[in-house]
Amino acid sequence: MRPKMTKAMLALSTVLGIGTATVGTADSSSYGYLPTKISVNGKQISTPKHITAPDPFAGANASKTAFLPIYYIDGALKDLGITANWDGHTMSLSVPSSIKVNYPSPPKALPLSSSVMAIEINGKIVTYAPKITYNDAGTTTATTFVPVFYLEKTFGYLGFNTSWDGTTWAVTGSTTGQTGQTYPDGWTAPVLTESWSPELSAHYEAGEFKLFQDELGFGDNGHWYSIPGQKYAITIGDSGVAGHGAEVQISFTMWGPDKYDPNWEPGVPDAYRIPVIAEQLFKFYFGNDWKTVWDYYNNNNIPDKFTANGRTCYSSYASATGQVILDVGYPASK
C-alpha cells in the first residue's frame, strides 16, 4: 500500500511510508521474483512479482511459501470497497458496515518487529504474520511482503473466498452479499460494490449493465427493475436512447411511498424499494452529490436541468408511459 508514484518520486517513499519500509532496512537475503496475477471476481487487478521463503511461524523445518507485496493487495481491497492503511507495522482495514466480519478469537499477542506484523479489521487485530522487507520488483524501493496464507485468513474473515495456484491469487464471492438494511417483509437492500469508471461506462454505452443485474437485481442484462405489481418500475437505457448527448437514461414509473412510514396508504406494497434502489444508482453516477439528486425525487421537486458530480442532467415527463425520465450527462472530464 504505497502511493502510486512515478519513479522520480520513489526517493520520497520512505517519507510517505505507505507500503514501504518505515522501520529497518531491506532484507539482506536474496530472493528471486516470480510472476503473479491478482484478480477479484475474475477481473485482473495487478500483475506484481512475488517471492518465496520459509514461513518462520511454521517452525524450523518449514518449506517455502509465497509472499506477496502488500501494496498490490490494496488494489484488491479497494475493488471490494475496503480501505487499507499501512504504517510499517500494522495493516489496518476499514470495512464498511455492509460487510459482515466474522471476527476470530483474539490471537496471541506478539511483539511487532522488522519481521513480524499485525493485520487488523476495524481496529481489531485478527492475525499476526511474518513479513519480509525487500525491493519491489523493477524498483530500488523496499516494500513489505507477507505470506499468502495470512492474507487468505484475513479475507476469509471478511466472507471472501480466495485461491492460490502458485501464480494467480484470486478473490471471489461475497460482492452481492454486501447488503444494506433488511426490512420487516424480509427484503434486504442490495449494495453496489463498484464505483463509476470509464471502463464500466464503455460497457454501458454498448447497452451492457451487467453490474446492475448481478448486484441490484435488475433483469434483461440490467435494463429494468421490477417489483410485484410493476414490472418496469425502473428502466435504464444506454447512450443510444438517452437524450441531450447523455451517457445513460434512467426512467422511473413510480417512487415510493415507504410502507413502513406511519402515513403509508396501500398501493403497490413493494414500491418502497424504488427509492432504495435509486439511492444505489445515484451513488454510482453522482458520487457525493447523490443525496441532492435523491432529494429532488423524494420531494417530487425535480429541476428540468441540473448539474451533479460534474454531470449535466435533464429531466422530463413522458405522459404516454407515465415515466419520469432522467438523462444523465457524461462527466465533465469526458
Q: Please identify, among 172, 206, 225, the residue that sits at the C-terminal boundary of a domain.
A: 172
Q: Which domain holds residue 19?
A: 7-172
The pLDDT score that the predictor gives to residue 265 is 53
Q: Give the Å distances, CA to CA, from 168 to 43, 45, 244, 301.
A: 12, 11, 44, 51
Q: Is 198 found in the same domain as 49?
A: no
Q: 247 with 205: CB under 8 angstroms?
A: yes
Q: In this structure, is residue 334 part of a structural domain? A: no
Residues 186 and 317 in one domain: yes
Which residue ranges of the chain lie beneath pLDDT 70? 1-28, 97-98, 173-180, 202-208, 239-243, 257-266, 333-334
Question: pLDDT at position 181, please?
Answer: 73
Comparing C-alpha atoms, which of 181, 201, 154 is closest to residue 272? 181
Same domain, 166 and 185: no
In whole angstroms, give the CA distance from residue 64 to residue 34: 13
The CA-atom distances, in angstroms, between 317 and each of 194, 243, 244, 311 are 30, 13, 15, 20
Q: Check whether residue 102 and residue 219 sit in a common domain.
A: no
**Same domain, residue pair 153 and 235:** no
Judge whether 130 and 55 are in contact, CB under 8 Å.
yes
Asked, for residue 2, whether it belongs to a domain, the answer is no
Looking at 172, 193, 216, the residue that finishes a domain is 172
> Quick one: 134 and 243 in the same domain?
no
21 and 164 part of one domain:
yes
Residue 19: its pLDDT value, please?
A: 40
The answer to whether residues 191 and 281 belong to one domain is: yes
Distance CA(285)–CA(306), nearest Å, equals 14
Residue at a domain's end among 157, 172, 187: 172
| Residues ≥6 apart with Cβ < 8 Å to 154 | 93, 119, 121, 126, 127
Are 261 and 145 in the same domain? Answer: no
Domain count for the chain, please give it.
Answer: 2
Q: Quick one: the chain helix, strand, coil %, rounded to 5?
A: 25, 30, 45
Q: Is residue 1 part of a domain?
A: no
